[in-house]
Amino acid sequence: GDGRTALAFDLGAGSGRAFVGRLSEKEDGSKRLDVTEVHRFPNEAVQVGAHLHWDILRLLREMKKGIRSAWQQGYAPTTFGIDTWGVDFGLLDASGELIGNPYHYRDPQTEGLIEEVNARVGEERLFRESGLQFMPFNTIYQLYAMAKAASPKLEIARTLLLTPDLLAYMLTGVRSCEYTMATTTALYDPVRKEWNKPLMELLGIPSGMFLRPVRPGEIIGPLTAEVAEELRVPAMQAVAVGTHDTESAIAAVPAHGGPFAYLVCGTWSLLGTELAEPILAPEARKLEFSNEGGVGDTVQLLKNIMGLWILQECKREWEERGEELGFAELAAMAEQAEPFRSLIYPDDPRFFGPGSMLARIRTFCEETGQPVPREAGEFARCILESLALRYRQALEQMERLTGREYEGLHMVAGGIQNKLLCRFTARAIGRPVWAGPVEASVIGNLLVQFIATGECRDLDEARRLVGVSFPVESYPADETAGWPEAYERYLGYERAVVGG
């Protein structure tokens, strides 16, 4: 049959994409999902004075193009969903207009605030009441920075909208707050399941601007008449999907049955597992895990790992020097380079901000008494091996926390196109890696739209649909020689830089 068509916007820190998804029924009654990209655009941060911002109006314009383009290409999506990176937000004034340009989560304004907030709140309390790893960019620190600076923006703010909710508002006129994004703020209490007003008051964050969260699968509302007319399309309905990209990606992990471990591999690497209840014991805080709200009433116990950002930034630096190297080329060069020559601890905070990544990697190696990488292949090898070792560490920590053992690791999202990383990961963890799908966030976004309108029953059926609709590549844990020794070395460098 013709099936139903939906439109997914997936906005990452580097680029945004619009995909059409079609759910069709085969003759034997089984369903299939197929996805087609209809628009792609860069998402570039803009430095203004001391601050780093998102170009939110540019993103809105590109999303409008995406809607136009879907219909022009002959598709007829009846719903759309938006997912983006976590934590960031815009503020609306009393008349419903956006106040200023939203900050980028790598804006330096939150530097040093983890310690300051811990001193005021107590780290045990903060973790118990948020369930989140202390990451400098969490919404709580951004708002605390504004409160501390007595930002006039906060004074006139009436509504806080997280990025996907803000973009949905600009298209539909409806103010909403989607639950999975709300859980990335550190201001939402995962046990009491409500906004943490006492915490906001303690930190001077206005507590009246937060809307009651809605679950993934709720309808937000149709395009405004103005937008529908401008784009010459029917009034499609916006659906609140798992609007946090990580949660959309996890919804598309083709696993079912028992407990499974996953790695969402993009600019960030999120390694985790799905639970029914959060783990808020001090052990989870010390091992730096988050409990994020997921699609289908799940809790995602996961660790944020610096990820391919490190390699992306090196690539950018080489480009600026006129050396154009694609990721495939870099992987091929890395493969030729000497194994385990230099290793880094990817989550050293020095790698977080913008600036010369090559210089920071060199300094790390010098400080830890290792040879310094000389050319691109050596840098790439160092980064990919170090990430794989970090994944092993996170996986084993997670096993300690949950008391479970994981047979292997599901890897999803754009980073799995780096096959060398998948291979290294299987060898580092000594277990198989199952890689796919690449377009995990887009697929998870679409599936929640199909659940919202009843074409798909639930998360479990959705995941089965992923398994039969998209290829998954297996990487066996072969050729593990050298990895255990490299892991011991890696642990030593970690201790050297973070102490303990």
- Residue 268 contacts ligand LRH per CB under 6 A: yes
Closest contact distance (angstroms) between CB of 36 and ligand LRH is 23
DSSP state of 455: S
C-beta of 137 vs 210, nearer to ligand LRH:
137
Q: Which residues ranging from 143 to 172 are in contact with ligand LRH (CB under 6 A)? A: none
Binder to ligand LRH among 54, 71, 103, 105 (CB under 6 A)? 105
- Residue 494 contacts ligand LRH per CB under 6 A: no
- Residue 245 contacts ligand LRH per CB under 6 A: yes
C-beta of 306 vs 343, nearer to ligand LRH:
306
Cα-based distances in Å from 43 to 57, 58, 332: 11, 8, 27
Closest CA relative to residue 169, chosen from 218, 223, 212? 223
Closest contact distance (angstroms) between CB of 414 and ligand LRH is 10
Binder to ligand LRH among 131, 266, 278, 346 (CB under 6 A)? 266
Q: Is the peptide bond before 476 cis (omega within 30 degrees of 0)?
A: no
Residue with tokens 């939203």: 102
- Residue 414 contacts ligand LRH per CB under 6 A: no
C-beta of 175 vs 244, nearer to ligand LRH:
244
How far is the C-alpha of 361 from the C-alpha of 432, rounded, in Å? 29
Closest contact distance (angstroms) between CB of 72 and ligand LRH is 29
For residue 229 the two structure tokens come to: 């007319």
For residue 52, what is the enclosing H or E element?
A: strand 51-53
- Using DSSP's 3-state secondary structure scheme, residue 84 falls into strand
Binder to ligand LRH among 66, 86, 346, 414 (CB under 6 A)? 86
- Residue 391 contacts ligand LRH per CB under 6 A: no
Stretch that binds ligand LRH, among 63-71, 85-93, 336-344, 394-402 (CB under 6 A): 85-93
Stretch that binds ligand LRH, among 35-43, 260-268, 375-383, 461-469 (CB under 6 A): 260-268
DSSP state of 86: S
Give the active site residue among 245, 348, 458, 460.
245
- Residue 304 contacts ligand LRH per CB under 6 A: yes
53 beta partners: 46, 103
DSSP state of 453: T
Q: Is 418 exposed, middle or buried (0-12, 13-18, 19+ CB in 10 A)?
A: buried
Stretch that binds ligand LRH, among 27-35, 64-72, 215-223, 265-273 (CB under 6 A): 265-273
Closest CA relative to residue 255, chosen from 32, 459, 398, 405? 459
CB 324 within 8 A of CB 280: no
C-beta of 205 vs 265, nearer to ligand LRH:
265
For residue 41 the two structure tokens come to: 């655009």
Size of the site for ligand LRH (CB under 6 A): 14
Q: Which residues ranging from 179 to 198 are in contact with ligand LRH (CB under 6 A)? A: none
How far is the C-alpha of 308 from the C-alpha of 269, rounded, in Å? 7
Binder to ligand LRH among 23, 231, 270, 334 (CB under 6 A)? 270
By rule CB under 6 A, what string of x and - marks binding of each residue 8-37 to ligand LRH?
----x-------------------------
Binder to ligand LRH among 246, 269, 386, 393 (CB under 6 A)? 246
How far is the C-alpha of 309 from the C-alpha of 314, rounded, in Å? 9
Is 347 one of the catalytic residues? no
> Which strands form 31-42's sheet, in the order they lie side by side?
31-42, 15-25, 4-11, 79-84, 237-240, 218-222
- Residue 465 contacts ligand LRH per CB under 6 A: no
C-beta of 129 vs 245, nearer to ligand LRH:
245
Query: Which amino acid is it at 370?
Result: Q
Closest CA relative to residue 456, chosen from 299, 247, 295, 298? 295
Q: Is the peptide bond before 484 cis (omega within 30 degrees of 0)?
A: no
Point out which residues bind ligand LRH (CB under 6 A). 12, 85-87, 105, 137, 244-246, 266-268, 270, 304
Active-site residues, by number, are 245
